A and B are shown apart, each in its own frame.
Chain A
């Protein structure tokens, strides 16, 4: 207790609230209030139904108004008590109504500055600025909301501080980056094609979930089929009618229904993709990769090139036919929860992808090199677990459930299907190392090729489970920041050889040096 006043006295002259603390934009208060309204639904319902019994309906309205005012008042209080200050070496954020919190973020620790504009904030020309640090709770350094001018000023300020810190040469390139052509962009046509490939029936799951959640609000029983049949009969459609219209008509009806389903699936995919990817643009700036995208919610994110730990190139069996791939960068950012991997190009050809990867100092595999295939025993051993289970299930089905033999035999399809999938997995799997990088290719449905520079590897582990040990097989797991690469189905001796080769590369350089080199190289 006694220590607190003294620290206040120390802090006060340096960061005087009166002259150098800045407040958030006042309009942001209302934006926050309106976007926060859904959280107030339950208190409002409670107040409304709690006072419903009283004689005067005005009491209910007054109670709801009181809740709204209460919320606004607290938002105003925290707005009054929130200040940020840009110092010579750090950004300070003071917040808290009752318990005060003063956070200092040194410029060197700021990895990313992102500006997000939600639709409502966009109306008022406001933006939410997030300072991302390497720490696990980077979300706390958030300014919601400031004017867009201020947001851009803050970003430039941090950039200037960082580039001054890293190398003076960067300041020259800063001016030219504004008009430089993007290294990757998607026109509306590309976004549309991407949407076609993003076929999704998730809308039915959402609608079903909503209907289940709120069915007490609906005036009819949604799951009551007799009710629906009744409704149909009132309109002159009966089951007998449907049965009577003949096969051809039934097939036509089914086809129409199926087409509707497919149409909705495509529409969902296109709309979702359009909302997220509209106006996609990736720039290579002095600081790193800058990505802008979004139709209603514009996002603007920067990923410093030296933070790229690995690249993941992904495709699917259908989109691959047309050469469409996606490129993601794995990084040590733990703060952006929904996207730990930075999507650098969501839908592009390989010819477009490799230059982007090269900009992050990641090279394409030499086309002449053949990937090492995994030992098939690694996959086929699973049959020893599966086949007895199936035979047991067959016997149980025949003896206890009285299912005839010819139908129980159908269970044998299960190992056949699984065997086929495992065979596909084995076919797709491949790995190899060259003098610089590690490559792992896997998956037949989500086809991934992960590439990591060996110097970015943090730990190497050889692992043998009880089954793999009997087979003499092992896996090698490379721990990297933000993810890991695993080579599987290797003979133990090969695993050791790979480990020894990579560790020589890794141990030779200190990680701090690796990061510094990557920073220096981009100023060229």
Chain B
């Protein structure tokens, strides 16, 4: 079930693909270096380690982020936030604004270059006590935070 089939869901910012590619390319680099070292000491026939490792690296760092992006989606309702993600492990989470305890907007160093941010909401539940939504434009994340906050305050009055 891709996100395109559900028109009510909003997709993440396309720049999310780029930031995830950079993050995973850097994150998986040690494995590639390790494979290079194994290749260098020549315990196995040439190419036995490095070639599969390199292909796996390319797949994880360049193909997977695009697939991930295709399966992320969210919907800001009047009184709830719905987040859909994953293909192999599909999750469709709904958090009512009335249950949100506090809200974070996070920006990592890579995110900052592309003006992206991650929105995290915390609830009092044990399961899913933090629900994160990455790949939002920073301004969007801030306005979503304000909207949720306003909804909470209105409920309490």
Contacts and interface: CB of A to CB of B under 8 A. Distances in A.
Same complex for A and B? Answer yes
A332 interface: yes
A458 B123 contact: yes
Contacts of B53: none
A506 B89 contact: no
A510 B128 CA distance: 18
A463 B92 CA distance: 6
Contacts of A483: 126-127
B52 to A, nearest CB: 23
Interface string A424-446: 00000000000000000000000
B92 A477 contact: no
Interface string B75-111: 0000110000000111111111111000000000000
A13 interface: no
B125 A479 contact: yes
B151 to A, nearest CB: 9
Interface string A152-176: 0000000000000000000000000
B152 interface: yes
A499 interface: yes
Given A458-B99, A499-B94, A465 B89 contact: yes
A468 to B, nearest CB: 9
Contact of A511 (B88, B93, B124): B124
B127 A510 contact: no
A459 B131 contact: yes
A469 B91 CA distance: 11
Contacts of B152: 510
A461 interface: yes
A511 B99 contact: yes
Interface residues of B, number: 25
A98 B35 CA distance: 52
Contacts of A459: 93-95, 99, 123, 125, 127-128, 131
Interface string B125-151: 111110100000000000000000000
A458 B124 contact: yes
B5 interface: no
A479 B127 contact: yes
Contact of B125 (A469, A484, A499): A484
A482 interface: yes
Given A459-B99, A466-B89, A513-B155, A507 B126 contact: no
B91 A461 contact: yes
A457 B125 CA distance: 8
A503 interface: yes
B126 A479 contact: yes
B9 to A, nearest CB: 14
Given A506-B96, A507-B80, A511-B99, A481 B124 contact: yes
Contact of A463 (B89, B96, B156): B89
Contacts of A482: 126
Given A462-B91, A503-B80, A480 B98 contact: no
Interface string A444-460: 00000000000001111
A373 B95 CA distance: 27
Interface in A1-54: none
Contacts of B92: 461-463, 499
B147 to A, nearest CB: 15
Contacts of A457: 99, 125
A512 interface: yes
A254 interface: no
A475 to B, nearest CB: 10
B91 A463 contact: yes
A464 interface: yes
Contacts of A465: 88-89
A450 to B, nearest CB: 13
Interface in A480-524: 480-484, 499, 503, 506-513
A468 B83 CA distance: 20
Interface in B44-81: 79-80
Contact of B123 (A462, A479, A507): A479
A328 to B, nearest CB: 15
Contact of B97 (A462, A480, A507): A507
A503 B126 contact: no
Nearest to A482: B126
Contacts of A458: 95, 99, 123-125, 128-129
Instruction: Pick the most buried of A332, A484, A507, A509: most chain B CB atoms within 10 A of its CB.
Output: A507
A109 to B, nearest CB: 14
A484 to B, nearest CB: 4
Contact of A510 (B88, B123, B124, B155): B155
A484 B127 contact: yes
A465 B87 CA distance: 9
B124 A477 contact: no
Contacts of A509: 98
A503 B96 contact: yes
Interface of B: 79-80, 88-99, 123-129, 131, 152, 155-156
Interface of A: 332, 457-466, 469, 477-484, 499, 503, 506-513
Closest 9 CB pairs of A and B: A479-B125, A458-B125, A484-B127, A510-B155, A479-B127, A510-B98, A507-B96, A462-B92, A464-B90
15 contacts: A458-B129, A459-B94, A459-B128, A460-B93, A460-B94, A461-B92, A462-B90, A462-B92, A464-B91, A479-B123, A480-B125, A484-B127, A503-B96, A507-B80, A513-B98
